[in-house]
């Protein structure tokens, strides 16, 4: 299978702080990959660097998407390549309605007439959003906002979907629902890379995983193997 | 008497509302206050005067050209000064101070070009005065009210009903999320400043025939617009319109029923009062806590 995304000796600097220290990772087409690790390990920095949301001058190394270097692209240009991101903390447009939020996800699309169908399919996937379609984003519950954030990504018809902490602050039942949806989206053909602190659900959903620790990748393997690894068990699964 | 004051208050209030809109748009998009905003009014008045009176172009064309020129000035101000400073990670207060410098530069430049005397903006309509339901006023004054309200309505339509307007609001609400949706937030902010400048320039062109054109026209009237924006809820588009109109009405009624000497004092007393009692303004915009 072809590598859709590849990071080669990727570093990130916030001024003098060396926060990501030369990592190598890749995501193959159709795969679902997770990046786990403790708070402050550099997961969000890595994800936001891929999507062009970090300051570009902090980057060293290369980020390849479909074989093309994208580490100098601003976020709006990366979005145009087919990379969508559901940000940590969901970042719903609080004063736009659910419907308007979804439409903003389709901002770059030219095929106006298909957008309506895609919105309907998001409502089919998350019926709770349909009930709230005319409500302002800021009035939704955390779980509904996460569904909306994922729906907004889907509206761009992405090749690669990045998710940052999709379980953050949500009740266990909702987390389960969200991960079932992520699994479905991947099976329908969208490549997924997600960052997660809830290692248990991350490793039981994804195909492969990378473990990040203070700016470095310390382990990478299939999720099945990682779950059986004694170190991972002790440090991340609390077994 | 009441009806006359009401109309006059609405006329000047409409202009304040336009100016207030500019302040609020800029605050929403960049989290900043621009002291040069008032000078965009001056610039508009002189541009209008140049196109209409000196170059003798038709009024409507002068109107469009003034709008377009101020729009470009707004983009240049944002890209050349504001964003350039932001990229250097300068503290916001220094950027605000930089806008004071820009303000004086515009005032001095217009003074150098047009002199210190107040210039008369020639009559636009062939009939000097118009009487509508018993109220007689300068025809330009009525036009001013109509144009102000129409501009506010158009801006409302643009910001809420068009894809690009909604994207601009999104970029102001959450730049990170907007960027990830493919919205060029840097361009969107530039266009917001440009719109603020263009709307202020129209206010200047509307004030010209009533007040005359002079270099500090904008800084005087601009302060009123700013007060209107605060009263309405700083950063709220609709608050700005309503706040501006309220300020115009209060000012006119104070001058009409009491004394013209205190009309400015009362206007700013209201500003202070709002800051103490209801800093979020009429539209409850939480400007102070907003990140």
pLDDT digits (tens, 9 = 90+) for B181-190: 999 999 999 9
Q: Taking CB atoms and an 8 Å limit, are B176 and A53 in contact across chains?
A: yes
Residue B289's pLDDT band (cuts 50, 70, 90): very low
| Chain B residues touching A152 at Cβ < 8 A | 181
B180 is a domain residue: yes
What CATH number did the domain enclosing B249 receive? Answer: 1.10.3470
The nearest alpha carbon in chain B to A154 belongs to B181
B283 is a domain residue: no
Residue B290's pLDDT band (cuts 50, 70, 90): very low
Residues B41 and B207 sit within 8 Å (Cβ to Cβ) = yes
The nearest alpha carbon in chain B to A76 belongs to B182
Q: Taking CB atoms and an 8 Å limit, are A53 and B179 in contact across chains?
A: yes
| Interatomic CA distance for residues A116 and B234, integer angstroms | 36
Interface contact B160, partner A, CB < 8 A: no
> Of the candidates A56, A47, A48, A58, which has an alpha carbon nearest to the alpha carbon of residue A19?
A58
Q: Which of B89, B176, B180 to mutate to test the interface with A (most CBs of A within 10 A)?
A: B180
B129 is a domain residue: no
Interface contact B238, partner A, CB < 8 A: no
A86, burial (CB in 10 Å: exposed 0-12, middle 13-18, buried 19+): buried
Range of the structural domain that residue B253 is part of:
2-122+134-277
B149 is a domain residue: yes
Closest residue to A93, CB basis, from B177, B179, B185: B177
Q: Taking CB atoms and an 8 Å limit, are A75 and B170 in contact across chains?
A: no
**Domains in chain B: how many in total?**
1
Residue B287's pLDDT band (cuts 50, 70, 90): low
B164 is a domain residue: yes
Long-range contacts of A202-205 (CB under 8 A, 24+ apart): A202/A34, A202/A36, A203/A34, A203/A36, A203/A227, A203/A232, A203/A237, A205/A32, A205/A34, A205/A179
Would the pLDDT of B237 be above 80?
yes
The secondary structure of residue A37, as a DSSP letter, is E
Closest residue to A76, CB basis, from B169, B173, B182: B182
* Residue range B237-259: mean pLDDT, rounded: 91
Would the pLDDT of B265 be above 60?
yes
Q: Which of A45, A77, A104 to mutate to test the interface with B (most CBs of B within 10 A)?
A: A104
Would the pLDDT of B8 be above 60?
yes
Q: Taking CB atoms and an 8 Å limit, are B173 and A79 in contact across chains?
A: no
Query: Nearest-CA distance from A115 to chain B in Å?
Result: 13
What is the dihedral angle through the alpha carbons of B23, B259, B206, B133, rounded to the nearest 10 degrees? 120
Q: Which of B181, B190, B283, B291 to mutate to test the interface with A (most CBs of A within 10 A)?
A: B181
pLDDT digits (tens, 9 = 90+) for B127-150: 778 887 777 888 888 888 899 999
The stretches in chain A having pLDDT less than 50 are: none
Q: What is the ipTM of this complex?
A: 0.93
Would the pLDDT of B208 be above 60?
yes
Q: Taking CB atoms and an 8 Å limit, are A80 and B182 in contact across chains?
A: yes
B60 is a domain residue: yes
Q: Taking CB atoms and an 8 Å limit, are A107 and B182 in contact across chains?
A: yes
Q: Rounded mean pLDDT of chain A?
A: 95
Task: Output the pLDDT for position A170.
Answer: 95
Task: Output the pLDDT for position B279.
Answer: 85
* Residue range B154-175: mean pLDDT, rounded: 93
All domains in chain A, ordered by first residue = 30-55+73-237 (3.40.50.300)
Q: Taking CB atoms and an 8 Å limit, are A104 and B173 in contact across chains?
A: no
Q: Taking CB atoms and an 8 Å limit, are A96 and B177 in contact across chains?
A: no
| Interatomic CA distance for residues A173 and A171, integer angstroms | 6
| Chain A residues touching B237 at Cβ < 8 A | none
How many Cβ contacts (< 8 angstroms) between chains A and B?
Answer: 67
Closest residue to B179, CB basis, from A76, A93, A156: A76
Q: By mean pLDDT, which of A205-219, B71-85, B144-158, B252-266 is the weakest? A: B252-266
Q: Which of B161, B177, B178, B285 to mutate to test the interface with A (most CBs of A within 10 A)?
A: B177
Task: Output the pLDDT for position B189.
Answer: 94
Residues B237 and B20 sit within 8 Å (Cβ to Cβ) = no
| Chain B residues touching A79 at Cβ < 8 A | 179-182
Residues A38 and A57 sit within 8 Å (Cβ to Cβ) = no
Closest residue to B182, CB basis, from A91, A103, A156: A156
The nearest alpha carbon in chain A to B187 belongs to A76
Closest residue to A87, CB basis, from B166, B167, B177: B177
Give alpha helix (H) positions in B90-138: 92-114
| Chain B residues touching A93 at Cβ < 8 A | 169-170, 173-174, 177-178
3-state secondary structure of B221: helix
B183 is a domain residue: yes
């Amino acid at each position: 299978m072809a590598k859709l995304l590849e990071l080669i000796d990727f570093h990130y600097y916030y001024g003098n702080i060396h926060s990501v220290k030369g990592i190598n990772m890749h995501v193959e087409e159709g795969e679902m990959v997770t990046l786990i690790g403790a708070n402050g390990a550099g997961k969000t920095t890595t994800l936001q660097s891929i999507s062009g949301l970090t300051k570009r001058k902090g980057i060293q190394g290369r980020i390849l998407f479909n074989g093309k270097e994208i580490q100098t692209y601003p976020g709006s240009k990366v979005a145009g390549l087919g990379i969508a991101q559901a940000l940590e903390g969901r970042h719903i447009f609080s004063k736009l309605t659910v419907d308007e939020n979804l439409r903003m996800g389709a901002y770059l699309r030219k095929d106006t007439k298909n957008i309506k169908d895609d919105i309907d399919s998001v409502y089919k996937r998350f019926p709770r959003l349909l009930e709230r379609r005319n409500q302002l984003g800021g009035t939704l519950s955390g779980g509904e906002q996460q569904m909306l954030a994922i729906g907004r990504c889907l509206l761009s018809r992405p090749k690669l979907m990045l998710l940052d902490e999709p379980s953050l602050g949500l009740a266990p039942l909702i987390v389960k629902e969200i991960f079932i949806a992520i699994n479905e989206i991947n099976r329908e053909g969208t490549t997924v890379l997600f960052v997660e602190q809830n290692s248990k659900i991350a490793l039981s959903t994804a195909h492969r995983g990378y473990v990040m620790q203070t700016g470095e990748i310390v382990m990478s393997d299939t999720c099945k193997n990682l779950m059986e690894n004694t170190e991972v068990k002790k440090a991340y699964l609390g077994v | 008497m009441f009806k006359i004051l009401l109309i006059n208050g609405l006329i000047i209030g409409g202009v304040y509302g336009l100016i207030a809109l500019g302040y609020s748009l800029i605050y929403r998009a960049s989290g900043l206050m621009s002291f040069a905003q008032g000078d965009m009014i001056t610039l508009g008045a002189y541009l209008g005067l140049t196109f209409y009176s000196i170059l003798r172009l038709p009024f409507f064309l002068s109107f469009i050209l003034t709008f377009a020129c101020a729009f470009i000035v707004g983009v240049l101000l944002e890209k050349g000064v504001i964003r350039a400073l932001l990229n250097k990670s300068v503290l916001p207060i220094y950027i605000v101070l930089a806008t004071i410098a820009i303000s004086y530069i515009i005032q001095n430049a217009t003074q150098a070009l047009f002199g210190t005397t107040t210039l008369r903006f020639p009559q636009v309509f062939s009939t000097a005065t118009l009487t509508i339901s018993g109220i007689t006023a300068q025809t330009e004054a009525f036009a001013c009210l109509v144009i102000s309200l129409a501009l506010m309505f158009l801006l409302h339509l643009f910001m809420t009903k068009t894809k690009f307007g909604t994207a601009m609001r999104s970029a102001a609400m959450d730049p990170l999320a907007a960027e990830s949706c493919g919205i060029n937030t840097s361009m969107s902010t530039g266009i917001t400043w440009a719109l603020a400048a263009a709307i202020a320039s129209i206010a200047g062109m509307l004030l010209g025939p009533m007040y005359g054109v002079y270099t500090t026209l904008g800084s005087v009237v601009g302060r009123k617009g700013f007060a209107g924006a605060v009263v309405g809820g700083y950063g709220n588009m609709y608050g700005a319109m309503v706040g501006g109109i309220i300020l115009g009405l209060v000012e006119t009624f104070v001058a009409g029923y009491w004394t013209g000497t205190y009309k400015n004092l009362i206007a700013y007393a209201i500003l202070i009062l709002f800051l103490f009692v209801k800093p979020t303004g009429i539209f409850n915009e939480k400007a102070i806590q907003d990140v």
